[in-house]
Amino acid sequence: MDITFIKNFISSQETSQEFKRLFHGRGGAYEGAKHLTIDSIDTVLFLSLYFLEDKEDALIAMLKEFVQDETSRYKTLVVQRRYLRNTPAEVVYGVLEDDVFAFEDGMKFKLNLHANQNIGFFADMKNGRAFVKQNAKDKNVLNLFSYTCSFSVAAKMGGAKSVVNVDMSKGALKVGMANHSINNLDPKGTSFLPYNILKSFGRLAKKGPYSLVIIDPPTFQKGSFAATSDYQKILQKLNQLTTDDATVVTCLNAPELDTNFLKELMSTYAPEFCFEQRVPNPPEFVNSNDEKALKVLIYKKNAV
């Protein structure tokens, strides 16, 4: 890991209040840096470390010096050590405010930067949210595996008629409700359902049909979902859940599963839907192999 290279790289980036991935080592494009990412979150510099590396202390010292520079926009440095279980993130410099938000394209999302794992927001899905925002007008939206409902915020801000958010985590849905509130969105027409999706197709069908469906599952969640065996169970139900001209956003963030995995599942279990495009990932999420990165595929029902 070349610390000087990282310092020069992040120093060259344009930043603003908007959430931005400053350095994406996880993509494997930078030698010796696959264990780290650095994010710009308004006035917070946020370092995530995925495994222990012998230059960790030197890296943190460099970033602390970077934040303390009088020309820096940052007031706080936070280090998240994801390789340490049940250990909260460390505020290395400055003070972390109680309310921290990710700003993106006129939207804002509540974050938990003290978390050891997910902070409540996936920045690599920026273009996916933009697609939904641009294509949600007057649509009835089904948001599966909604987590903290960022897709729902995008859909409502894009003029969606209704949004049904479904996630087993009541805590995530509670944050999702807060995200709608802080964006001053009318709660009318928005549902937050703590359902096991695989056991709830009948109840979801009664609230349909849906003209826009978003499927953004975890790769593996013990006891509830595994992409390799359960994704197809959702696709089998798409036809009965959707309108004749529905759009489906299928997502997958598993390095070991490529776009062909999704395409083959769709052609086998949802043949009524035609592939239209893969949404490109934000350029700052550079990856040595695009097939190992986030995959967002758009399908249209009964497309000619």
Q: Domain holding 142: CATH number?
A: 3.40.50.150
Assess whether 12 and 160 both reside in one domain.
Answer: no
| Euclidean distance between CA atoms 242 and 130, whole angstroms | 22
Cα–Cα distances in angstroms (integers) from residue 48 to residues 63, 108, 132, in the given order: 12, 21, 28
Q: Tell me, what's the pLDDT at 62?
A: 97
Q: Please check whether residues 163 and 88 belong to one and the same domain.
A: no
Return the beta strands (E) in the chain as ranges: 20-24, 36-41, 44-49, 76-81, 90-93, 100-104, 107-111, 140-144, 162-166, 190-193, 210-215, 220-221, 225-226, 242-252, 273-278, 295-301
Q: Given pLDDT bands bounded at 50, 70 and 90, which one contains residue 82?
A: very high
pLDDT at res. 304 = 62
Quick one: 145 and 52 in the same domain? no
| CATH code, domain with 73 | 3.30.750.80
Residue type at 281 in one-letter notation: N
108 closest CA partner among 22, 19, 196, 212: 19
**Does residue 106 share a domain with residue 24?**
yes
Q: Could you tell me what percent of the chain has a pLDDT over 90?
A: 90
- What pLDDT, in 10s, does the model give residues 143-171? 999 999 999 999 999 999 999 999 999 99
Token readout for 128 is 């996916």
pLDDT at residue 303 greater than cutoff 80: no
Tens digit of each residue's pLDDT (9 = 90 or more) over 46-74? 999 999 888 999 999 999 999 999 999 99
Domain boundaries, position 76:
3-111
- Tokens found for residue 4: 């000087």
Among the candidates 111, 136, 163, a domain finishes at: 111
Find, among 125, 177, 172, the residue nearest to 145 by Cα. Answer: 172
Domain count, the chain: 2
Of the ranges 12-26, 154-168, 212-226, 286-300, which one carries the lowest mean pLDDT score?
212-226
24, two tokens: 């994406």
Provide the β-strand partners of residue 69.
none
Same domain for 205 and 65: no
Residues 192 and 101 in one domain: no
150 vs 110: CA distance, rounded Å: 10
Instruction: Say whether the peptide bond before residue 283 is cis (omega within 30 degrees of 0).
Output: no
DSSP symbols for 44-94: EEEEEESS--TTHHHHHHHHHHHHHSTT-S--EEEEEETTSTT---EEEES
Q: Is residue 228 part of a domain?
A: yes
Residue 168 sits in the same domain as residue 200? yes
- Measured CA to CA, the distance from residue 258 to residue 237 in angstroms comes to 22
Given pLDDT bands bounded at 50, 70 and 90, which one contains residue 1? Answer: confident
- Please determine, for residue 116, whether its predicted confidence score (pLDDT) is greater than 80: yes
Q: Mean pLDDT in the chain?
A: 95
Give me the pLDDT at residue 221, please. 76
Instruction: Compute CA distances 110 → 19, 48, 98, 265, whole Å.
Output: 12, 18, 10, 34
Query: Can you state the angle between helices 150-157 and 126-135, rounded to 10 degrees?
Result: 30
What are the two backbone dihedrals, phi and then psi, of residue 210, each rounded to the nearest 5 degrees? -110, 140
Per-residue pLDDT at 131 exceeds 90: yes
Whether the CB-CB separation of 230 and 255 falls below 8 Å is answered with: no
Asked if the structure places residue 116 within a domain, the reply is no
Mean pLDDT value of segment 274-278:
97
Q: What percent of the chain has pLDDT over 70?
A: 99
CB atoms within 10 A of CB 300: 16
User: What percent of the chain is helix, strand and coil (3-state, nearest 5)?
Assistant: 30, 30, 40
Structure tokens at 184: 């001053």
User: Residues 277-297: what's their mean pLDDT?
Assistant: 95
pLDDT digits (tens, 9 = 90+) for 204-249: 999 999 999 999 998 877 777 889 999 999 999 999 999 999 999 9
- The pLDDT value recorded for residue 302 is 82
Which residue, of 111, 145, 166, is where some domain finishes?
111
Q: Report the predicted TM-score, pTM, of the whole model to 2 decimal places.
A: 0.94
How sure is the predictor about 190, in pLDDT bands with cuts at 50, 70 and 90? very high
Check residue 240 and give its pLDDT.
95
